[in-house]
Each structure stands twice: as C-alpha cells, then as structure tokens.
Amino acid sequence: MKISRLLVANRGEIACRIFRTCRRLGIHAIAVYSDADRDALHVRLADEAHRVGPAAARESYLDMDAILAAARASRADAIHPGYGFLSENAAFAEACGGVGIRFVGPGTDAIRAMGLKHEAKAIVAAAGVPVVPGYMGEEQSEARLVAEAARVGFPLLVKAVAGGGGKGMRVVREAAALPEALRGARSEAESAFGDGRLMLERFLERPRHVEVQVFGDAHGNCVHLFERECSVQRRYQKIIEESPSPFIDAATRAAMTAAAVRAAKAVGYVNAGTIEFIVGGDGAFYFMEMNTRLQVEHPVTELVTGLDLVEWQLRVASGEPLPLRQEAIQSRGHAIEARIYSEDPRRGFLPSVGRVRRFAHPPASADWRIDSGIADGDAISVHYDPMIAKVVASGADRAAALASLRRNLDRTAVFGVGNNLALLRTIARHPAFAAGDVDTGFVDRELAVLTADVPPPPEALLLAASLALADRAPPAGAGHSPWQLADGWRAGGEPVQAIGLRTPAFLRLRARRQGGSLVLEGEGTSLRGTVAIADGRYLVDAGRGPQSLELIRDGEMLQVVGESATSLALAPAWPFERSVEDADAHPASPLPGRVVDLRVKAGDRVEKGEVLAVVEGMKMQHAIRAGRAGRILQVLARQGELVDAEAILFDIGPA
C-alpha cells in the first residue's frame, strides 16, 4: 500500500530533507515539534504540524506515546524516524506496527540484533564478515576483563556494548591503566545508555573509518550502494565524509561491499542501513557496527549514484521491491560532505547557542548542495544537536569535488553563533586531506595546528579599515565642516582615526587617508594601499598588485574572500578618544570581559606596545597594550574584575 501521509518523528535538517522528497512524490508531510521548535524551519515546511511536548527531548521527540498520538491525530499511515531520537528504538518500531502505522525502517528483529555491538559481531562473524579480535562475553567482572585484555593484547579499546558517539569508550595502551579505564567507561555507559556492559577490541593505530550503504526489501533482495570514507572525525564523531574512499582499492572495495551485503542478509535486513568498518593501514578491514537507519552522510551516496535514498526508503516501506538490481547501480564522480556545527573547536567543541542572524552560502548548483535545518533568525537551542547544515560538493573526480568544497566553504558564513567553518576550511586545504591520507585521529591530533590563528592578509585589513572609516561618514546635512566629521580631523595635520579590529585577536590601528591611499599603522602593522569597488567586488592593492575580493557582511562581522576566507570584526569607536594621543594615553578594554592578568601598577614606567593587562571575553584573551611610552599614573581596574566594553583601564602620563 502506497504511503500518502507521512509523519516525520524528528526535527531540524533531516526532517526538512525528508519533506523535500515528500513534496516531489506528492506525499502529505506531517511535522512534530517541541515547545522550543514551535517556529522551527521543519514546522514551516510541513503541510501540518503537531506539538509533542516541552523542549526537553525526553519529554517530546523521545516520547513514544506523544509521537504515536500525533500520528493518529494526523491520520498518518507511516512514520519516518530520521536519525537519532527513536530511529533505532526497536520498541518504537514495534509500537508503530501495533497501532497499524508503518515504520520506515527495518524490522524490530534486525534493530535488536544489531543494537548490541557484541551480539552484532557474533552474527556477522558467523556470516564470514571479518571482526576485530576482542572479548564480547557476558562475564563482566573486572578480573575477567583484565584477563581477556591480556589475551587480546595492548593497545586495546574498551567500548560500551550499547554505546555510540564515543561515549563509554577508552583507549588503553598498558595493563596498569586498564582498571581505571574500565571503571570510567562503565560509569559513562551506565549514565548514557543505562547499560554498563563493556567489550574489548584490539586497537588499530591510526585506522580509517569506511562504511557501506546497504538496502534490503521484503522480497529477499539486498544491495549495496558503495562506500563512504568517514575518517575525518572529532572525538569519534564524523565531520567530513566522502565517496568513493580515496584510500581503498578496487579489490578491497569489492570485498568490503560483498561483506556488507552478507552482514545485512544475516539479519534479514529491510530498508536503509549502514555497515561500518574499521580499516588498518595494511588495508585489512573489520566490522565495527551496523546503523539500522538512514545516515547523516547519505547525501554523498545520493550524489555519486544519482538516487534519492529517502524515496527508496518510502517505496520499500510501501512493500515495493528495490527499484534497481545491483548491476544497475553505478557510482560516478566524487562527492564530499562537511557538517557545519554551532560549536567552538578551540574550546573542546563546546556547543554555541543563540540566534543565527544570517546563514550566507552560495546557491545550490550542479556541484553544490545544502541540507539545512535553519534559516536566518532561527535559534540554536541547548536542547538538541548543534548541527546547522550539511554542505556537499561534487565533481567529476576528487580534485574537482575538493576544489568546489574549498571555493564554496570560503563563501559560506554563519553570523550570530560560534561555528566550525574555519576548521572545515582549514581541513579542506590541509595537504594530508588533499592527499586522502587521514585517519580517525587526524583532527584530534592536529587540532592545535588546525585552529591556530592565521594573520589576516594585508588586503583584508585595508578593506576592513576602509569599511570602518566609511561607517563613520558624516551625518546627512553635515556639509564639509571638519567640526562635524567623526574622522579624527585635527588642525595642522592629516585626519587620523583610531579603529579596532578583531581578527580574532584584537588590533587597535590608526587609519588615515593620504591622497588616494589608505594608511594603516599600529601594533606591528604598517600598510599603505588603495581600495576601490568594481562590479560589486572590491579591488584592493596592498603593494602586490590589485586583488579582487568578495565581502560577506552582517553588521560589524566581516568575511573577506580572496585566495581564502578571512573573518574579521569591526570594533566600535571609543567615545573617549578625542585624539590619537588621548587614546594612546588611555588604553581601554575593547569588549566586555574579565581582567585575568594585571601586569603593572601605578608609578611603573612602560614602553610603547608593552602588555599592561589581559582581558578575557567572548571566549578569547585580549592583550591591552600601552599606546605610548610613559609612566602609569592610575590603574583603573583590579585583577579579576569584570569590565565593560570601552572601559578605560589605565592613565599613562609622561615619563
């Protein structure tokens, strides 16, 4: 029976993605929402929507009774669980069948069989699928686990039986560290999954993560849709995926995809699923787990096969056979997906919450796809996953796809919340990634390098300074009177304006117009150049010839796109700066923050450029420097004190 009314028991990006296929197929799309998502994009895109509870996921999107009540009220004939939440919950799949509503996913037996890692490994091993040596027994005493660890050998991986997302997982390199690792992993597993059972695996150094998309139907057919490389991860969670894998060869691909189909057939699998493998440096692969749902990264498979996997899911759930046989499924070209998260890579990937003022990106095209769950003005909530969007670049080969990814990431910006775009751009340009030579530990191992501050190019500084000066243009009706200009004009000299830039470190610069040039000085910076506008782009010459730059702007936030993307922010003018000399004598905090390091006291002699204090704000530390040589007359803040933006911290007099 064909599905005509589909309820999506999810939110955000995946709900929006499923509704897209519903519209194309003429299926009535039904959304559910929590109180926090009342005005969310997925609600706005649906044909109808039903409230399922308060903001907390356990009281809304994880409330099976509320979801089923919404399905009955909306007369849904099927429920698509998306990914996460109830998507791999066998009890929910069973409950759907119990009330006569189809569950778009596998049967409950397959979900249960693959839900516990140790049982799944036993099943696939019996089907001839290679598994990593380890211990998956029921005996869970510490003494037994210690003994089995000695048999498996070090280094080894302690994993939660019911785990996922890196929770309940520890790498142990020597026997002395094992007891503490077991206790920590067990405690974390009990808290996260309500199941403290553990398993042991041989740990492969610098492994790769490669998975195979499989599809089965109720008529006994099962196929694969090739592999995806998912080795670029942070803390065991994927951030960049691609297909085909740049690492495995044709023989390994054939063996791996055949093994994946055997694993799926071993549990009579129906609908979309993914067999995940860990791959050693020698190319040997081992079963890791099966995800009994649609994966976040399914768009890369869609782009290389030309198929709509959600449509396949709905057809299979309607009782139809698979649309294609194995020999008709082809992989062409290359696709790379990057996940944009609202998080701070510099602070342990802590989620960043707030309102997205603007999500700017190139429009979808033949080589560029955007799957998003937010629009301008939408909020990122503390209650749910911080994913903003997935962007996917494709091309005739990997080089073309990578070029598209770099070009389009540079032209993508998120204003209003912290995000990982700078990290994604850096990875996309890293030589190891370009060579396809990364493993699952690459990001964590290289994080300091990947998130290091890169000095902005001189062209970006000149453009930002030009915009800052333009923002301080005279008000309407001011005429040409120098007394009404906010440009730092003074009698007997060139007009000089103090401006502030965050790059992200704070810079105080002096800008002046001199003839047709713009001159910048301060904090080790000395630049002279020109800025012009032509056909909506900026032509900036900082002494190495005109460079054509694009600008993405949201208020004081700037993204300058040239050879790569540079993010800067214009700092507000400081009202106490009546002259450049006055500013030099009165160093101030550029933003609200806490004085975390006070290095001078009244009476101290200081040199120009000397660090006087450090203020921490906006998750970063900013050095407050002397603008002139002299003697500290007053210290106007205390160590540990909270200060406002523009607060003067020191009074510097003559030496």
Kindly list the strands in the beta sheet with 368-372, ordered across the sheet, starting from the edge strand earlier in the chain: 285-291, 271-279, 208-216, 222-234, 237-243, 334-341, 387-395, 368-372
Cα(1)–Cα(101) distance, integer angstroms: 12
Nearest to 329 by CA among 351, 346, 311, 304: 304
Cα(241)–Cα(260) distance, integer angstroms: 18
Beta strands 237-243 and 198-202, pairing class:
unpaired
Residues 6 or more apart from 145 whose CB is under 8 A from it? 135, 178, 182, 198, 200
**What torsion, rounded to 10 degrees, do the Cα atoms 503, 446, 360, 31 define?**
-140
Q: Are 379 and 314 in contact (CB under 8 A)?
A: no
- In three-state form (DSSP H/G/I as H, E/B as E, the rest C), the secondary structure along 363-405 is CCECCEEEEECCCCCCEECCCCCCEEEEEEEEECCHHHHHHHH
Hey, what amino acid is at 21? T
Rounded to 5, what percent of the chain is helix, strand, coil? 30, 35, 40
Nearest to 569 by CA among 494, 628, 620, 528: 620
Name residue, tokens 């995800």: 291
Nearest to 459 by CA among 383, 381, 562, 609: 562
Name residue, tokens 């030309």: 306
Cα(427)–Cα(343) distance, integer angstroms: 16
Query: Residue 149's CB: how many other CB atoms inside 10 A?
Result: 20
Structure tokens at 373: 């769950």
Alpha helix (H) residue ranges in 54-177: 64-73, 90-98, 108-115, 117-126, 142-152
293 flagged as catalytic: yes
**In Å, how far are 264, 310, 322, 650 from 12, measured between CA atoms?**
29, 16, 28, 48
Q: Are 434 and 514 in contact (CB under 8 A)?
A: no
13 phi/psi in degrees, rounded to 5: -55, -45
Cα(417)–Cα(542) distance, integer angstroms: 31
Cα(354)–Cα(619) distance, integer angstroms: 15
Helices 90-98 and 64-73: crossing angle in degrees, nearest 10, is 30
Taking each continuous run of H as one helix and of E as one strand, the counts in the chain are 17, 38
508 phi/psi in degrees, rounded to 5: -105, 125
383 phi/psi in degrees, rounded to 5: -85, -15
**Choosing from 17, 293, 512, 625, which is the catalytic residue?**
293
Please, is 429 exposed, middle or buried when counting C-beta atoms within 10 Å of its C-beta (0-12, 13-18, 19+)? middle
The 3-state DSSP class for residue 189 equals helix
Residues noted as catalytic: 293
